[in-house]
Structure 1
């Protein structure tokens, strides 16, 4: 009987570690912000209502970003952003569907920061754009943290900027992603 238990225990531990490695991670409170460095005034907005899921088995990931949840320093900026630029009533969400192409390099059993490559399609204002960027997945204190920064232009998403304010907005806008994932369905780190 002891021999059977000794044989089964390592199998169960291996199976448990494999389940974690193949697990899904989720958040409803992800943080995305953008920054536009312009000559007249910097524009920055934060959104802490980002939903994301990451499948550690396949590397597939998805984001859903409610556009009206971006918070600006000035309420007039927020109004212009929602009504005139991204047309939040017509296009209420931005989405990203993609993949961490080197997900197998991330070891959930070892605390470390892992450089990852993310590819996929970002949809803003009803327009798709292919994204290929680097980021970091970090296993730390029982959590899975995700971070990345990339740049886009309003023109890539058919966002029209009136000539009168064109110099107030940078040609390239930096987007930063900062996510704390939690295990989905009982998985744990």
Structure 2
């Protein structure tokens, strides 16, 4: 009888550990695209860190703005020095929560609601995401739009026709269990 109690206790302790598990994406990807009459602007950042807390339904992400890679060095320079001002605002962050719980298997579509901070300005946002559960990991991807003026990013009047007022942002995070060593 004592062996059965011990086995049940171990089972429930392990179950509690599994349910309280957090997931981490160490190399998430964020891209943005801005349609412009002269030349489209596109950049990719593969150095995005994100944490997903399964129990609390919370998600957070942070990225260095200088880690965006552009097709042209001049675009990278203008983005960091003139628009985002990466020396003053070196990172962007997102803190939010899933409106529903995560299912244990398969693919699902969910809304994530939270606050995004770019260029020192914080705005509330809702993002429609696709969540795929495979084995012991989650893949979360989605797309949303940001308005440049909402984040106090100043565009010189001479360039207003060359830079879109709305930027399309896409993201993809592959979460693996976080192990606190």
Aligned partner of 2:41 in structure 1 is 43
- The answer as to 2:143 corresponding to 1:149 is yes
1:124 to 118, 140, 164: 118
What's the CA shift for 1:61? 1.2
1:100 to 88, 98, 101: 98
TM-score by length of 1: 0.87
Give SS of 2:107's match: strand
CA distance in 2, matches of 1:131, 1:48: 22
Give SS of 1:168's match: coil
- In structure 2, relative to structure 1, the CA distance for the partners of 1:18 and 1:25 (3 Å cut) is same
Q: How many residues are matched?
A: 181
Q: Is the 8 A contact 1:117 1:133 kept in 2?
A: yes
What's the CA shift for 1:10? 6.3
**Gapped regions of structure 2 (runs ≥ 5):** none
- The answer as to 2:177 corresponding to 1:183 is yes
**Gapped regions of structure 1 (runs ≥ 5):** none
TM-score by length of 2: 0.91
What's the CA shift for 1:107? 2.5
What's the CA shift for 1:39? 2.1
Aligned partner of 1:114 in structure 2 is 108
Q: Is the 8 A contact 1:21 1:107 kept in 2?
A: no
Deviations 1:83-115 (A, max 9, x none): 00000000000011111121x2x223x2x1121
CA distance in 1, matches of 2:8, 2:145: 46
- The answer as to 2:158 corresponding to 1:164 is yes
> Which contiguous aligned blocks of 4+ residues in structure 1 show a shift greater than 4 angstroms?
7-15
CA distance in 2, matches of 1:14, 1:40: 62
